[in-house]
């Protein structure tokens, strides 16, 4: 059972001292929340960098795609390296286009359906990559305050037990134990607040990037549909 003690009256009330004076349950809660906070900031920084790179890649691809370069040449250039964002969607659609015509596709509707499905799958993969680990931020944002509160409750219970044992209600005796307990709640909020703000911001950014990619997929589907109609008309002539 955890020992029930109180900090010495007038003892040091620095954060470091309060941490070491806390019981082992409260210490574990604090360490867990601090680790979650560090991991939260690592995710935030990583996502901000990744989203910035994705915006740059989308802008670069759009500029190249609408520059008038032939689809075949663009496909050859992109298929030789790892692609992301709109590039992945474009390569997936062109790969299905080429495979279907190499095998002698006969149904324009079937070809259009397969191309749309290939682009949808590529879009889902890109969105999964953008949204990966955002769930952790949501979990920390919603649970960290309650985990910190749990540490606070345990700490205050321990303090009250020590107060009963010492038969003293002097503020100098009570304050250090209460401060130790409240430190757990403070660390919980320290982890939760950035996580909530970052989750809302990053989710919005991911949705905007996804909207751009989805818009490109729709436009490219229209372009390919027009070319399919032209090929069918040429064969029928």
Average pLDDT over residues 51-68: 94
pLDDT: which is higher, 31 or 167: 31
pLDDT beyond 60 at 9: no
Q: In this structure, are residues 155 and 22 in contact, taking their beta carbons and an 8 Å threshold? A: yes
- State the greatest distance between any 2 C-alpha atoms of the chain, in Å, as a whole number: 103
Q: What is the pLDDT of residue 106?
A: 65
Question: Which pairs count as long-range contacts for 95-104, CB under 8 Å and 24+ apart, including other chains?
Answer: 97/224
pLDDT in tens, 70-83: 889 999 999 888 88
Q: Please state, in angstroms and as integers, the Cα–Cα distance from residue 166 to each residue in 8, 157, 159, following that order.
A: 12, 14, 10
Pinpoint the alpha helices (H) of 66-170. Answer: 71-79, 86-102, 108-131, 134-166
């Amino acid at each position: 059972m955890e020992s029930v003690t109180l900090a010495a009256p007038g003892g040091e009330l620095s954060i470091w001292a309060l941490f070491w004076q806390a019981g082992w349950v409260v210490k574990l809660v604090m360490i867990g929340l601090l680790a979650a906070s560090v991991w939260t900031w690592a995710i935030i920084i990583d996502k901000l960098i990744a989203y910035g790179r994705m915006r740059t890649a989308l802008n670069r691809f759009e500029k190249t795609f609408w520059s008038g370069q032939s689809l075949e040449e663009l496909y050859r250039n992109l298929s030789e390296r790892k692609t992301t964002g709109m590039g992945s969607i474009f390569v997936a659609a062109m790969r299905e286009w080429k495979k279907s015509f190499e095998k002698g596709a006969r149904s324009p509707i079937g070809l259009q359906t397969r191309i749309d499905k290939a682009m949808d799958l590529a879009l889902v993969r890109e969105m999964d990559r953008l949204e990966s680990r955002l769930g952790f931020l949501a979990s920390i944002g919603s649970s960290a305050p309650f985990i910190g509160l749990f540490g606070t409750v345990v700490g205050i219970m321990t303090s009250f037990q020590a107060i009963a044992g010492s038969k003293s209600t002097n503020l100098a005796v009570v304050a250090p134990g209460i401060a130790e307990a409240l430190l757990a709640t403070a660390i919980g909020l320290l982890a939760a607040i950035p996580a909530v703000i970052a989750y809302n911001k990053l989710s919005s950014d991911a949705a905007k990037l996804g909207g751009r990619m989805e818009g490109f997929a729709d436009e490219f589907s229209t372009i390919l549909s027009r070319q399919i109609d032209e090929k069918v008309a040429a064969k029928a002539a």
